[in-house]
Amino acid sequence: EYIRLGGPANVSFGDIMGVDHLRATLAPQGVAPATIDIAGSIKPRLALTATVDRLTPAIAKPFAPELAASGVISAKANLAGTIDAPTGTVALTAHGLKMQTGPAASLPAAEILANIGLAGKMAKVDVTLGAGPKVALAVRGTAPLSKEGAIALATTGHVDLSVANGVLGASGMATKGQVGINLNVAGTASQPRATGRVELQNVSFDHYAQGVRLTDINGAVVASGDSLTLEHVLAHAGPGTIALDGTVGIFRPGLPVDIKVISDKARPVSSDLVTAVINTDLHIHGQATTRVDVDGKIVLPSVTVNIPNSMPASVAQLDVVRPGQKAPDNTSSLIIGLGIDVISPGQFVVQGHGLDAEMQGRLHVRGTSSAPSITGGFDLKRGNFNLAGINLNFTHGRVAFNGTGVNHKLDPTLDFRADRNAKGTLASLLVTGYASAPKIDFSSVPTQPRDEVMAILLFGTDAHSLSTTQLAELAAAVAQLAGGSSFDPLGKVRNALGLDRLAVGGGGGVDNGGTSVEAGKYVMKGVYVGAKQATSGSGTQAQVQIDLTKRLKLNTTVGTGGQVTGFTTPENDPGSSVGLSYGFDY
């Protein structure tokens, strides 16, 4: 690498400043040489010509050794007047500007063409930027050279958002769609005013690591004076939608925001871990430079929390810090206040690892995003744990979102308990921990060894009284709890049939705990219809549960071939029975 002067040059400093013809050749290693030609005075009068030709990013290598970029830049200036009120022209062209390493290497090469005419206190601007067919932007008009000068700039063009996927892909994200820009800025540099709009057309966004997917995002951001208005920006999320309306004071002190987020049956999250349908009515308001508050309600009509036998591969997200480079500062002075109620009226299903439970409840999220205060939770509505073909009914269950989890930011905590009382011992199965890393344990009163507790839970007797077949079932249960099998045929069949519940129980008949198949589905809000069939053909039961009020439920069970429980109705067959039970759930 070298810098070679083309001849003698005089550079003066002081009251008189100028250059008496500087000509130089710059030859960075491995690229064609660039030339610089500067001549004229800078003060007291500005009378300067300057030309730079074939300049490349390699010229910065001595100052930024890690920079790996390509492209060619040329510029020409012809200036007069004074430094405070320059006149003349400046032209710049850049071809093939492109990063060679890192995620930005996937971006297309940029082309820049800029022509600026200086006229004392203002400048006439004509700048175009292109990056292949996906980016085309133009800025034209007049710009002030002082804070009080007048602005009259128009920005037009379009951006295909897929151009950013090379960069977003490193973080497990992707986007596509079109953004059309037609904005005008007037006023002064200290008090700008905007008009025009930015159109979003068929935009989509995916965050694969979190299971977030938004599609068909359409709408407009309209500029009006000192504010931008979100004009019904609508995104589709699964079977539902998410709508944004409101304003952002882009040119107002403190950057005030006032936005409503309304979603209807939206499913923004769908992953192996959590799938959720949500309705929201949220209000985001405050000053974006200091504090923003989020108030309102989130209703969860349907949530499925899957407890996988093994965690799926996820996209690694690494923050690389090279030697000598400062770590990124992630601290922010912005405070986000929380005042959100999260409500689940039911159909909050937790399943996997033998667990099949339905929850309902309410969370109150207060405080700030850095120090949230969460009260409430989701409590058991119905549920069981299938252990080696034996269904254990849960007596207690709770799901909470009071932590960040082991591997995932969205990772519910579990607290379930199933009891069975036999031979004077209360045996309990405990499921705790995070959905991504559940903990299954046993306890009893009085305290018994774990194998004795499992024998009581499964068979209602001690381990010494088990038959050979029962010992084999006990071994299968141990293998299941140890994660020895990831085969879940019931889950696949349940999803294929569109059922909310599908379970197999063990024993000897519908009425006496025999081997049976149970299936059910919510036919409308608060109405569950289920059926249980004994594999031996000894009987069938149908169940209808109706949530009359928040605390009052009506359960109706119809059985054939079984013992009459409740009362018999004349219009039914002689072999059928109807049982009615009323339950109060506090």
Pick from 92, 120, 148: which residue ends a domain? 120
Question: What's residue 223's pLDDT?
Answer: 93
Do residues 512 and 557 both lie within one domain?
Answer: yes
Tell me whether residue 451 is in a domain: yes
Tell me whether residue 132 is in a domain: no
| Average pLDDT value for residue range 192-197 | 93
| Banded pLDDT at 531 (limits 50, 70, 90) | low
Do residues 100 and 46 both lie within one domain?
Answer: yes
| Average pLDDT value for residue range 171-183 | 92
| Average pLDDT value for residue range 296-307 | 86
| Banded pLDDT at 404 (limits 50, 70, 90) | very low
Residue with the larger pLDDT of the pair 346 and 479: 346
Pick from 55, 87, 120: which residue ends a domain? 120
3-state helix, strand, coil in the chain (%, to 5): 10, 60, 30
| Average pLDDT value for residue range 61-75 | 80
Do residues 380 and 363 both lie within one domain?
Answer: yes
Question: What's residue 388's pLDDT?
Answer: 57
Q: Are 232 and 222 in contact (CB under 8 A)?
A: no
Ranked by mean pLDDT, which of 156-165, 361-370, 419-428, 541-550 comes out on top? 156-165
Ranked by mean pLDDT, which of 79-88, 374-383, 456-465, 540-549 comes out on top? 79-88
Q: Which of 70-79, 115-124, 380-389, 544-553 has the lowest mean pLDDT?
A: 544-553
Report how far residue 437's alpha carbon sits from residue 303's, in angstroms, rounded to the nearest whole number: 19
Do residues 476 and 493 both lie within one domain?
Answer: no
| Average pLDDT value for residue range 152-166 | 91
| Banded pLDDT at 583 (limits 50, 70, 90) | very low
Q: Which of 176-190, 254-268, 391-405, 424-438 has the lowest mean pLDDT?
A: 391-405
**Domain extent at residue 393:** 349-486
Q: Is the pLDDT of residue 358 over 70?
A: yes
Question: What's residue 546's pLDDT?
Answer: 62
| Average pLDDT value for residue range 176-186 | 94
| Average pLDDT value for residue range 409-432 | 76
Q: ∠386-391-392 over CA atoms, to 5°?
A: 100
| Average pLDDT value for residue range 392-411 | 60
C-alpha 19: how far from chain center: 57
Do residues 421 and 501 both lie within one domain?
Answer: no
Question: What's residue 26's pLDDT?
Answer: 81
| Average pLDDT value for residue range 236-254 | 92
Report how far residue 554's alpha carbon sits from residue 544's, in angstroms, rounded to the nearest whole number: 8
Do residues 431 and 560 both lie within one domain?
Answer: no
Q: Which of 60-64, 275-279, 428-432, 561-565 has the lowest mean pLDDT?
A: 561-565
Q: What is the SS3 assignment for 77-92?
A: EEEEECCCCEEEEEEE
| Average pLDDT value for residue range 523-549 | 60
Do residues 502 and 457 both lie within one domain?
Answer: no
Do residues 571 and 498 both lie within one domain?
Answer: yes
| Average pLDDT value for residue range 533-542 | 56
Do residues 449 and 527 both lie within one domain?
Answer: no
Q: Is the pLDDT of residue 275 over 60?
A: yes
Pick from 486, 517, 537: which residue ends a domain? 486
Report how far residue 180's alpha carbon sits from residue 138's, in angstroms, rounded to the nearest whole number: 12
Q: Is the pLDDT of residue 4 over 90?
A: no
Tell me whether residue 279 is in a domain: no
Q: Is the pLDDT of residue 281 over 60?
A: yes
Cite the DSSP H helix spans in 281-401. none
Q: Is the pLDDT of residue 539 over 60?
A: no
Question: What's residue 62's pLDDT?
Answer: 67
C-alpha 17: how far from chain center: 57
Tell me whether residue 190 is in a domain: no
CB count within 10 Å of CB 210 equals: 19
| Average pLDDT value for residue range 402-416 | 57
Q: ∠403-404-409 over CA atoms, to 5°?
A: 145
Dihedral sign of CA atoms 351, 356, 361, 364 in order: negative
Question: What's residue 551's pLDDT?
Answer: 52
pLDDT tens, 46-62?
Answer: 999 999 998 888 777 76
Do residues 429 and 557 both lie within one domain?
Answer: no
Question: What's residue 362's pLDDT?
Answer: 87
Q: Is the pLDDT of residue 394 over 90?
A: no
DSSP state letter for 453: H
Do residues 427 and 496 both lie within one domain?
Answer: no
Residue with the larger pLDDT of the pair 482 and 95: 95
Tell me whether residue 558 is in a domain: yes
Q: Is the pLDDT of residue 567 over 80?
A: no
Do residues 423 and 454 both lie within one domain?
Answer: yes
C-alpha 51: how far from chain center: 49
Question: What's residue 9's pLDDT?
Answer: 84
Tell me whether residue 527 is in a domain: yes
Q: Is the pLDDT of residue 293 over 80?
A: yes
Q: Which of 3-12, 164-173, 496-505 has the lowest mean pLDDT?
A: 496-505
Tell me whether residue 463 is in a domain: yes
Q: Which of 586, 565, 561 is nearest to 576 (CA)?
A: 561
Tell me whether residue 127 is in a domain: no
Q: Is the pLDDT of residue 186 over 70?
A: yes
- The model carries a pTM of 0.64
Q: Which of 406, 401, 423, 407 is nearest to 415 (CA)?
A: 401
Question: What's residue 490's pLDDT?
Answer: 47
| Average pLDDT value for residue range 260-282 | 88
Question: What's residue 27's pLDDT?
Answer: 76
Residue with the larger pLDDT of the pair 511 and 181: 181
| Average pLDDT value for residue range 500-522 | 54
DSSP string, 467-534: -HHHHHHHHHHHHHHTT-----HHHHHHHHHT-SEEEEE-SS-TTTT-SEEEEEEEEETTEEEEEEEE
Question: What's residue 44's pLDDT?
Answer: 87
| Average pLDDT value for residue range 161-165 | 89
Report how far residue 77's alpha carbon sits from residue 75's, in angstroms, rounded to the nearest whole number: 7
- Mean pLDDT taken over the chain: 76
Q: Which of 11, 6, 85 is nearest to 41 (CA)?
A: 11
- Quote the number of domains for the chain: 3
| Banded pLDDT at 582 (limits 50, 70, 90) | very low
